[in-house]
Structure 1
Amino acid sequence: MKDYAVQGLHCANCAKKMEAQLHQLQKGKTIRLNYSTSRIYLSDEVDMKAVKKILMSDNVQVLEDNLIVDEQDTIKSAAHSHNHVPDYTGSKNSVHNIKIVFILNLVFSLAEFIFGILFNSAAILSDAVHDLGDSLSVGLALVFQKISTKEANEQYSFGHRRFSLLGAMITSVILIGGSILIILNSVPLLFDPQPVNSRGMFWLSIVAIGINGYAAWLISKGTSKNEKVLNLHMLEDVLGWVGVLTVSIVLDFTNWFILDPILSLLISGYILSKALPTFLENTSIFLEAVPKGIDIRALEKNIKRIEHVHAVSHFHMWSIDGEENALAITVYVNTKDTGKQEQIKEEIRYLTKDANVTHSTIEIVVDEEYLIK
């Protein structure tokens, strides 16, 4: 029995349909396609080329290079330890974690408004505005993250994963807008600082650090752009409340009430310094820029080195959601041999597998001028 990792499975229904096609090759042989583990199981007699042809029709790639045979003659894949195969099963946990963070943020932001007024603290009120904005953005992120787990359909042929990215962009915009609002409210207090209840600030900051620290730890387990932005929220809140804690201790011994608006400005400036680059990065993904860290020119040169490849054109790479990437390319070859053309496609997919390309469209054009005779 052989056990291979596969890349490009996006839904359980797709896996079932492909497995049904593969069963036509069975004839007493074992063929199983497991969506949850992204693996295919084949008996030794199965025609691998026929299997690949069926899988490639839906842009699913078999990662044969990860094959390792152990002493019991069973097959294992290095993808287990190196995790080259994308994990599409974590989204349900993401939705659950985001839901918990949303409830924590909403309840605590309402408490902040109450205690901010009672303690007469601009820093707390400013953070209450920030946390309420966080709550709204987390709620939106929750909705979009949940939508992103839906399978592909007639309207969204790539699936719904980009909705997670949309949630990240809206979250970034709310962060930026809230920070600007805090700055505008805090600047006048620099010239007219107001007394604050430092003891109340101290105890509230202790509670806040515990709540936001737990939320940051919980959301840090995620890998999507959506979760990374939300994790940034939580970490910023923890750091902000550490600042509030420090200021409350200082104000307990001094009358330096100007520290309160100064802290608000520092928190806002820090948030802007993090949220703006994140927003720009997500915008580039939405504008279908070449994925970060991929040298498309070097990749094109490597493709041209493949035997029988004469030239390439219409070479495009873009990211679907910041995690999965897509590829479209036209390749000019000097052979009419369909077997060699399939081999060329397979080599291109191999070259791009480390770039996490899960959707690929490779068009082969026979260049008559360079045809081997």
Structure 2
Amino acid sequence: MAIVFFMNVIFSISEFVFGFLFNSTAILTDAVHDFGDALSIGLAWIFEKISSKEPNSQYSFGHRRFSLLGALITSLVLITGSILALLSAIPRLFNPEPVNYQGMFWLAIAAIIMNLVGTYLLSKGQSKNEKVLSLHLLEDMLGWVAIVIISIVLHFREWYFLDPLLSILLAIFILYHAVPPFLESMNIFLEAVPHDVNLNELKQTILNIEGVHAVSHFHFWSIDGLENAASLTVYTDIEEATSIEDIREQIRLLLVNQHVSHSTIEMVYDPQKLVK
């Protein structure tokens, strides 16, 4: 993964340089995309090691959210870069400027070769992260194939509007794939209830347990998008310790079915049912 990271960093910087030299907004937009890829690979490389660490006195829930932090940073970079690319490309669409289509062609060929090498190296990795990134690099080649096609067309026709048009399409494509992960990561950091969990239904299921007449302070959040945590206060008119523990175990099993790995269930004896 380290080799692929440095390859992408060096090449994305080269794209920014050649994008300006060739006067191509399409290459500049793809440079944003490739820099985002390099960033995601680098952060995955770093945070994959950190996220596997055990909980400690500072991070009591563990370090699993570090992987989310990487996704949040990468998404933010991609969104910002794509918006800037759109602001640059849209005016050029109505006032096209000549581009160095020969330079675009050879740079795209080099990019395709580099993406093939990166895909091969990452596909040999064992982690899920590496395999996902290898597929993503393979997908990136589609943009460079489009640049190859456009550079060939520009060799025969002075349709310079194709360059900013491709830039706009690439920016929209990047935004389409970057905005949802950004919003999802933000929801997790803000400790929102996961979208696949219906808190009201879950609360009602707990209330249907024999001996439970009220539930309060019910909090449910995701730790990293995969594992969840929950805390709640349960009121019962049952006094026997074994029965109370049985209720707690039933609730814990319900929570486990919702991928809860950390749960705090406070049982309150309320014989007069003052809380409803």
Shorter-chain TM range is 0.7 to 0.9
- Report the counterpart of residue 153 of structure 2 in structure 1: 250
**1:361 aligns to 2:264 (yes or no):** yes
CA distance in 2 between counterparts of 1:213 and 1:285 reads 34
Q: CA deviation at 1:181?
A: 2.0
In the alignment, structure 1 residue 269 sits paired with structure 2 residue 167: no
Aligned-partner Cα distance in 2 for 1:250–1:303 = 65
Aligned partners of 1:119 and 1:195: how far apart in 2? Answer: 6
Alignment gaps of 5+ in structure 2: none
**Structure-to-structure mapping, 1:10-21, within 5 angstroms:** none
Q: 2:188 aligns to what?
A: 285
Partner of 1:334: 237
Per-residue CA deviations over 1:304-332 (Å, capped at 9, x if unaligned) read 11121121111111001111100101111
Distance 2:82 2:67 in 1: 23
Which sections of structure 1, spanning at least 5 residues, go unmatched? 1-96
Q: 2:216 — aligned with what? A: 313
CA distance in 2, matches of 1:331, 1:214: 57
Retained in 2: the 8 A contact 1:141–1:171? no
Of 34, 39, 52 in structure 2, the residue corresponding to residue 131 of structure 1 is 34
- For residues 263-315 of structure 1, give each alpha carbon's deviation from its aligned partner in whole angstroms, at most 9, with x where no partner exists: 11111122122222221121111111101211111111111111211211111
Shift of the 227–277 alpha-carbon distance from structure 1 to 2, 3 Å rule, reads farther
**What letter matches 1:348 in structure 2?**
I
Residues 46-65 of structure 1: pairs in structure 2 closer than 5 A = none
Map of 2:96 onto structure 1? 192
Partner secondary structure for residue 157 of structure 2: coil
- Is the 1:330–1:364 Cα contact (8 Å) retained in structure 2? yes
Q: In the TM superposition, what whole-angstrom CA distance separates every residue of 1:194-234 from its partner, at most 9, and x where no partner exists?
A: 13224x4345434434543665684898667x997x67964
Deviations 1:24-55 (CA, angstroms, capped at 9, x unpaired): xxxxxxxxxxxxxxxxxxxxxxxxxxxxxxxx
| Cα separation, partners in 2 of 1:232 and 1:292, compared to 1, 3 Å | farther
Matched position secondary structure for 2:263:
strand
Deviation at 1:260, TM superposition (A): 1.0
- How far does residue 370 in structure 1 lie from its aligned partner after superposition? 5.1
Which sits farther off after the overlay, 178-187 or 153-162?
178-187
Question: Which one-letter code corresponds to 1:172 in the other structure?
Answer: S
1:93-148 residue CA offsets vs partner (Å, 9 max, x unmatched): xxxx4x35422311322343455466553322332244235434543443333322
Checking the alignment, whether the CA contact within 8 Å between 1:102 and 1:139 is kept in structure 2 is yes
- How far apart are residue 336 of structure 1 and its match? 1.7
Cα gap change, 1:349 to 1:210, in 2 (>3 Å): farther
- Larger proportion of helix: 2
Structure-1 separation of matches of 2:97 and 2:205: 64
Q: Match for 1:154 among 40, 57, 76? A: 57
- Report which structure shows greater RCO (CA 8 Å, sep ≥6): 2
2:134 & 2:242 partners in 1: Cα distance?
48
Structure 1 pair 314/210, CA: closer, same or farther in 2 (3 Å)?
farther
1:71-150 aligned within 5 A: 97=1, 99-113=2-16, 115-116=18-19, 119-150=22-53
Aligned pair count? 271
Match status 1:177 vs 2:177: no
SS of structure 1 residue aligned to 2:267: strand
2-structure distance, mates of 1:255, 1:281: 43
Q: Distance in 2 between matches of 1:369 and 1:355?
A: 32
Secondary structure at the counterpart of residue 291 of structure 1: coil
Distance 2:196 2:51 in 1: 24
What amino acid is the match of 2:56? Answer: N
CA displacement, residues 57-103 of structure 1 (integer Å, 9 cap, x when unaligned):
xxxxxxxxxxxxxxxxxxxxxxxxxxxxxxxxxxxxxxxx4x35422
Alignment identity in percent? Answer: 54
| Post-superposition offset of 1:342 | 1.7
TM superposition shift of 1:159: 0.6
